[in-house]
């Protein structure tokens, strides 16, 4: 949908759009939702695979991977890439028929929260055992251990695997169901009423905790590295949510060494860096990542049995940013003509080099170090501080961020004399300017590459 005219939405329009029940709206829009306790997860796919990091409840949503959230308008703009006008029209059913009938135009009604109840167990777990051993190649003794702990069983109604999360007293308070079908799309669902501060886990007596995205990844890793495994602690997040990990650390003070074993794809790489930052902020400094050879630990396990594994998915955006950062070279910059120089530069990689050079020149004035040495130090800082999980959005929004920082630099450089604190402040802004320019260059490069690949595929299709 493209909107070429400005529509002056009234306050009532804005209120209606902000109160749209997202669960109903997204279902009517054809989006895939799965229940996760009292909330729903939005299942979406991109070039890196399928993700479930966004939870939805009423007219609110939260993206656990990117640490952001809000109301309906923000979701339509940031996740679906619509303009404000387009988002408003779609939420208000301005150009779509039938959507309004399944949208709630008023604030969502309060419903009585259901208590947590485990699915009824089957009399045996033959199907689950067969699926985990024959399809997933999990070791039988590992399955038996968790079954005897009542943390893994087969449900009666649909023969799903049920992975159970228990609280600090061993009481079940969370459960996740997964189908055992070997064809088509698999079924996954967090049981309604689950307390997502807990999840499928095992806690030993050592100082080590291994963190996984999903229970099958965790079971696969244990199967691959079985020696004395019960001495250590393991937890599956059922996605990339940190709540269960933080609660586990709160309840097990002896854990001091944390290994992040997330998937070897874009989502898993972003999740590992994000979780590491969260854990560092919570006082856990000994955090490292263990990487599977293939997409995840079960793919590694299947490969040992001769099954063709799904390969790892490189984080091209992150790799390109770091690669372009390595290309930056110091150049003497006239500070009094800096804004004109930046404004005239059309190449974002060159703009990043100019910004970082200016930052180095300024900070060298208040520190006993040459501008060239400072430049190399700042270049390392760019690479160390880059967070791909925060580098989201379209090229246009990244360019807008860069332009705003350029204007800020111009404003700060208006005066003729600067104090030491002012020099440090301007240098910091220029460092941020270099970072944003690099993000623009990487995004521009990948966008052009994707366009070329699509053009080649179209040409090939025409020839066929």
- pLDDT-based confidence at 17, cuts 50/70/90? confident
What CATH class does 11-102 carry? alpha beta
Of 272, 262, 263, 259, residue with least CA distance to 313:
263
CA angle 439, 440, 443 (to 5 degrees): 85
- pLDDT-based confidence at 165, cuts 50/70/90? very high
The arithmetic mean of pLDDT across residues 429-447, rounded, is 96
Instruction: Indicate if the pLDDT at residue 108 is higher than 50.
Output: no
CA dist 145 and 162 (Å) reads 15
CA angle 89, 93, 96 (to 5 degrees): 105
pTM of the model: 0.76
How do residues 176-223 score in pLDDT, each as one tens digit? 999 998 776 678 888 989 998 999 999 999 999 999 999 999 999 999
Identify which has the larger pLDDT, 195 or 240. 195
Q: In whole numbers, what is the pLDDT of the chain averaged over residues?
A: 87
Q: Are 253 and 289 in contact (CB under 8 A)?
A: no
How do residues 392-425 score in pLDDT, each as one tens digit? 888 988 999 999 999 999 999 887 778 999 999 9
The arithmetic mean of pLDDT across residues 101-122, rounded, is 65
Q: What is the CATH number of domain 126-304?
A: 3.40.1360.10
What per-residue confidence (pLDDT) applies to 171? 96
Instruction: Indicate if the pLDDT at residue 313 is higher than 50.
Output: yes
What per-residue confidence (pLDDT) applies to 23? 86
List the structure tokens of 244: 């269960």
- pLDDT-based confidence at 459, cuts 50/70/90? low
CA dist 433 and 15 (Å) reads 37
3-state SS record for 271-319: HHHHHHHHHHHCCCCCEEECCCCCCCHHHHHHHHCCCCCCCCCCCHHHH
In the chain, domain spans: 11-102, 126-304, 317-449
- Strand 208-212 to 257-260 pairing: parallel
Of 290, 294, 284, residue with least CA distance to 260:
290
At which residue do the structure tokens 């580098």 appear? 391
- pLDDT-based confidence at 99, cuts 50/70/90? very low
What per-residue confidence (pLDDT) applies to 184? 62
- pLDDT-based confidence at 92, cuts 50/70/90? confident
What per-residue confidence (pLDDT) applies to 464? 54
How do residues 54-65 score in pLDDT, each as one tens digit? 888 888 888 877
Identify which has the larger pLDDT, 263 or 38. 263
Q: Are 187 and 177 in contact (CB under 8 A)?
A: yes
CA distances from 462 to 269, 448, 452, 457, 459 (A): 37, 21, 15, 9, 5
Identify which has the larger pLDDT, 438 or 78. 438
Identify which has the larger pLDDT, 382 or 86. 382
What per-residue confidence (pLDDT) applies to 63? 82
What per-residue confidence (pLDDT) applies to 461? 53
């Amino acid at each position: 949908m493209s909107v070429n005219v400005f529509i002056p939405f009234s306050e009532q329009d804005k209120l209606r759009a902000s109160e749209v029940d997202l669960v109903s709206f997204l279902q009517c829009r054809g989006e895939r939702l799965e229940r996760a306790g009292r909330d729903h997860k939005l299942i979406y796919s991109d070039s890196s695979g399928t993700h479930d990091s966004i939870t939805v409840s009423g007219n609110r949503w939260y993206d656990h991977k990117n640490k952001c959230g809000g109301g309906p308008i923000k979701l339509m703009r940031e996740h679906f890439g619509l303009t404000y006008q387009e988002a408003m029209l779609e939420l208000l059913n301005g150009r779509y028929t039938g959507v309004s009938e399944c949208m709630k135009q008023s604030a969502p009604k309060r419903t009585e929260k259901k208590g947590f109840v485990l699915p009824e167990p089957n009399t045996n777990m033959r199907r689950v055992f067969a699926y985990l051993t024959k399809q997933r190649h999990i070791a039988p003794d590992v399955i038996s251990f968790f079954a005897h702990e009542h943390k893994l069983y087969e449900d009666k109604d649909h023969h799903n695997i049920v992975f159970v999360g228990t609280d600090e007293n061993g009481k079940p308070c969370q459960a996740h169901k997964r189908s055992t079908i070997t064809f088509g799309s698999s079924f996954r669902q967090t049981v309604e009423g689950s307390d997502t501060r807990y999840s499928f886990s095992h806690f030993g007596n050592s100082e080590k905790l291994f963190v996984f995205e999903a229970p099958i990844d965790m079971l696969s890793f244990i199967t691959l590295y079985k020696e004395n495994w019960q001495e250590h602690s393991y937890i599956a997040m059922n996605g990339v949510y940190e709540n269960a990990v933080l609660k586990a650390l709160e309840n097990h003070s002896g854990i001091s060494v944390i290994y992040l074993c997330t998937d070897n794809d874009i989502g898993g790489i972003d999740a590992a860096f994000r979780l590491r930052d969260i854990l560092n902020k919570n006082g856990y400094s000994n955090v490292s990542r263990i990487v599977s050879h293939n997409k995840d630990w079960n793919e590694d396990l299947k490969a040992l049995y001769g099954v063709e594994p799904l390969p790892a998915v490189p984080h091209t955006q992150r790799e390109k940013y770091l690669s372009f950062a390595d290309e930056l070279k110091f150049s003497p910059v006239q500070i009094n003509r800096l804004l004109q120089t930046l404004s005239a530069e059309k190449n974002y990689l060159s703009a990043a080099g100019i910004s970082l050079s200016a930052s180095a020149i300024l900070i060298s004035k208040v520190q006993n170090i040459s501008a060239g040495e400072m430049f190399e130090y700042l270049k390392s800082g760019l690479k160390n501080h880059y967070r791909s999980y925060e580098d989201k959005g379209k090229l246009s929004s990244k360019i807008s961020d860069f332009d705003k920082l350029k204007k800020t630099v111009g404003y700060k450089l208006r005066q003729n004399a600067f104090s030491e604190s002012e020099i440090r402040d301007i240098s910091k802004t220029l460092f941020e300017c270099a970072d944003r320019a690099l993000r623009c260059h990487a995004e521009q490069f990948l966008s052009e590459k994707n366009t070329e690949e699509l053009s080649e595929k179209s040409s090939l299709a025409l020839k066929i």
